[in-house]
Amino acid sequence: MCGFVGMIAHEPVAGQLLLALQAIQHRGQDAAGVATREGGRFNMVKDLGLIAQAVPTGALRHLGGRSGIAHVRYPTAGEISTREDAQPFMTRFPGIILAHNGNVTNVPELIEDLRSEGHHVLSRCDAEPLLLVLAQELIRRRPSRHTTKDLVEAVAAVFRRVRGAYSVVAILEIDGQETLVAFRDPHGVRPGVYGHDGQGAWMAASESVALDVAGFTRMGDLPPGEVLLLRRGEEPVRLAVQRPTPRPCVFERIYFARPDSVMEDGRVNRTRWRLGRQLAVEWARKGLSADIIVPIPDTSRPAAWAMAEALKIKHREGFIKNRYTGRTFIMPDQKARQATLRLKLNPIREFFEGQRVILVDDSIVRGTTMRRIVSMVRELNPLALHVAIISPAVRHPCFYGIDMPSQEELAAAAYPLEKVEEAMARRLGADSVTYLSDESLRAVAGEGICAACFDGDYVVPVSEAEREAIRWERRGRGR
Ligand code: SF4
């Protein structure tokens, strides 16, 4: 889970890049960076922390240039705490700045390939081997003065060699012109959009909200399997590289993306609303009844409102979220852990006491937080406590860029699918658990989606060795 913004304009870009990046801070809080191209020179500032910590306002003085890339990082591979792993990355030969969102699954193989030709990977971030493969493939075609044809062939080689899911932005010189290049793997698993300001500037970003805040108009999603060339004052050039077979990540729309973003041609908020309506149908089929619907903030709110409307049950904001707690320490005992949860999410007693309640959430991963929420609400003496989830049960890990624990740690993976609701209700201490069915999910999001964390159908096969390497990385971070 990461977020990027790339921009090319007639004016210096650093200020607007950082403004747009703030809109997608939710995509990564561990590190941030910005790099610009000024004449033939590159400038870069990156560090650990939130954008404001990693790129202080004073740094803007050193970030001249009319093209650049900014990035926020939430690592799915690599060390969690080194500045060297923050993006963007750059190469001097040829001069490229690059950042991506996604997960490369065959990093060890790429590192070995690159080393055999004298290219050394210095960080533990998968963007670096991706960048080096692109640079290597460009140089193989011509040492410098790369053409559009060279670029298309190099990206085709990246698609062949670099496995996994990735959306990429890069700044480099193509046909002698400074160019913002964007490409998205043929399955388009990770999101990406592009747009213009009507005055010759172009932007590509992980989510459309980045374009909104900078005053840009969205033109569309980055096309899977294509490379896009964006140059100031010119129309975009779209070039097909590999036949697209789009399978965008549905979890983005369920949980990760901002509700005001437009993704795969639909507003995320609307998708969540429709998921809630479908869930209401499935909940009603069970013949249960309730007095009040309460979302777990923030993601599930539109779905909870839609459920309430469909079921004709009142809805209330039953939890107040404290947005200023930051990271809390791991607490040693149950009482302390409950206190920590209350600090983050405090329930309003009247909405639960003596009520038959439906708690609505986007997903259950480990189940630890939901178990604590259920236990906290139980103390308020509700008459009944039901849990409704706007996605199917998460039973498989993600290898394509969303940070998830290994299969053994996924709560729902411990039970056969036909028993999962009953077993999870027992595990959480709820009166019932209702997951959205796979059919309902597809009725809302369509058939052409990645839903591998629900159904185990991985669009890019992940070998046992690759799975083990990713598991090891995640274990290494204690996640
Ligand atoms: S496995 Fe799940 S989280 Fe990962 S890309 Fe696919 S839908 Fe998204």
Domains, the chain, in order of start with CATH, read 2-247 (3.60.20.10), 273-445 (3.40.50.2020)
Ligand 1 center from residue 456 Cα (angstroms): 10
Closest residue by Cα to atom 8, ligand 1, is 249
CA dist 90 to 42, 61, 255, Å?
Answer: 8, 20, 31
Q: Are 55 and 100 in contact (CB under 8 A)?
A: no
Q: Decide whether any atom of ligand 1 lies within 6 Å of the 398 Cβ.
A: yes
Residue 343: the pLDDT is: 85
Q: Are 183 and 241 in contact (CB under 8 A)?
A: yes
Residue 233: the pLDDT is: 97
Q: Is the pLDDT of residue 298 over 60?
A: yes
Mean pLDDT of the chain: 93
Q: Decide whether any atom of ligand 1 lies within 6 Å of the 402 Cβ.
A: yes
Give pLDDT tens digits for 180-201: 999 999 999 999 999 999 999 9
Q: Decide whether any atom of ligand 1 lies within 6 Å of the 451 Cβ.
A: yes
Closest residue by Cα to atom 4, ligand 1, is 398
Q: Decide whether any atom of ligand 1 lies within 6 Å of the 189 Cβ.
A: yes
For the CA of 394, the nearest atom of ligand 1: 2
Ligand 1 probe mutation, 271, 402, 454, most atoms within 8 A of CB: 402
Phi and psi dihedrals of 445, rounded to 5?
A: -95, -10
Ligand 1 center from residue 319 Cα (angstroms): 28
Ligand 1 center from residue 99 Cα (angstroms): 20
50 class by beta-carbon count within 10 Å (0-12 exposed, 13-18 middle, 19+ buried)? middle
Ligand 1 center from residue 393 Cα (angstroms): 13
Q: Is the peptide bond before 298 cis (omega within 30 degrees of 0)?
A: yes
> Distance between CA atoms of 117 and 191, rounded to whole angstroms?
32
Question: What angle do helix axes 268-285 and 301-311 make, rounded to 10 degrees?
Answer: 40
Nearest to 363 by CA among 388, 391, 398: 391
Give pLDDT tens digits for 352-399: 999 999 999 999 999 999 999 999 999 999 999 999 999 999 999 999
Name the residue with higher pLDDT: 471 or 257: 257
Q: Is the pLDDT of residue 76 over 70?
A: no
Q: Decide whether any atom of ligand 1 lies within 6 Å of the 202 Cβ.
A: no
284 class by beta-carbon count within 10 Å (0-12 exposed, 13-18 middle, 19+ buried)? middle
H helical segments located in 34-147: 51-54, 107-116, 127-141
pLDDT band for 247, please (50, 70, 90 cuts): very high
Ligand 1 center from residue 246 Cα (angstroms): 13
Q: Decide whether any atom of ligand 1 lies within 6 Å of the 24 Cβ.
A: no
Q: Decide whether any atom of ligand 1 lies within 6 Å of the 130 Cβ.
A: no
Residue 264: the pLDDT is: 87
Residue type, 335: K
Q: Is the pLDDT of residue 451 over 90?
A: yes
Nearest to 134 by CA among 82, 80, 95, 180: 95
> Distance between CA atoms of 73 and 85, rounded to whole angstroms?
9
Ligand 1 probe mutation, 190, 400, 410, 449, most atoms within 8 A of CB: 400
Q: Are 146 and 135 in contact (CB under 8 A)?
A: no
In the chain, pLDDT over 70 holds for what percent of residues?
A: 95
Residue 39: the pLDDT is: 87
Mean pLDDT calculated for residue range 123-130: 95
For the CA of 396, the nearest atom of ligand 1: 1
Q: Decide whether any atom of ligand 1 lies within 6 Å of the 250 Cβ.
A: yes
Active site residues: 2
Q: Decide whether any atom of ligand 1 lies within 6 Å of the 251 Cβ.
A: yes
